[in-house]
């Protein structure tokens, strides 16, 4: 039973380019969360999605960031026109539901470096 799969593991982008981060949730999980971890900090919630719906995007920067979870395929976190401050580890987590008996399962993250 594969866990949460994120790719790529490492991504290097120059300032102004676009970054696309992919997340395939665990089998049977229809809830996906994206978190960002800046150096020496804890994880910060970005967005919560279910299939084809954004449920909570209260942690997403207002500009340049978007997320989707289509009916088919992985969830995508997209960052347009990246800047140095976007350099961080981005973690995806999935759960089968949203109750407290549905703990989050995390992927190994995508480490984005903006040069």
Q: Which lies closer to other proteins via its Cβ, residue 33 or residue 65?
A: 33
Shortest Cβ 63–other proteins spacing (Å): 22
> Toward other proteins, which CB reaches closer, 22 or 111?
111
Binding site for other proteins (CB under 8 A): 4, 31, 33, 35, 40-45, 48, 55-56, 91, 93, 95, 97-109, 111
Cβ of residue 68: shortest distance to other proteins, in angstroms? Answer: 18
Q: Closer to other proteins at the Cβ: 20 or 105?
A: 105
Distant-in-sequence, close-in-space partners of 63: CB < 8 Å, separation ≥ 6: none
């Amino acid at each position: 039973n594969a866990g949460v799969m994120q790719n790529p593991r490492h991504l290097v982008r120059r300032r102004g380019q676009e970054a696309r981060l992919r997340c395939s949730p665990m089998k049977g999980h229809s809830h996906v969360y994206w978190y960002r971890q800046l150096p020496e900090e804890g994880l910060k919630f970005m967005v919560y999605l279910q299939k084809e719906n954004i449920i909570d995007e209260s942690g997403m920067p207002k500009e340049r960031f978007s997320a989707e979870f289509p009916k088919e395929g992985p969830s995508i976190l997209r960052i347009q026109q990246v800047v140095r401050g976007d350099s961080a580890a981005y973690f995806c987590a999935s759960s089968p539901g949203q109750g407290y008996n549905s703990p989050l399962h995390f992927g190994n993250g995508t480490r984005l470096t903006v040069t």
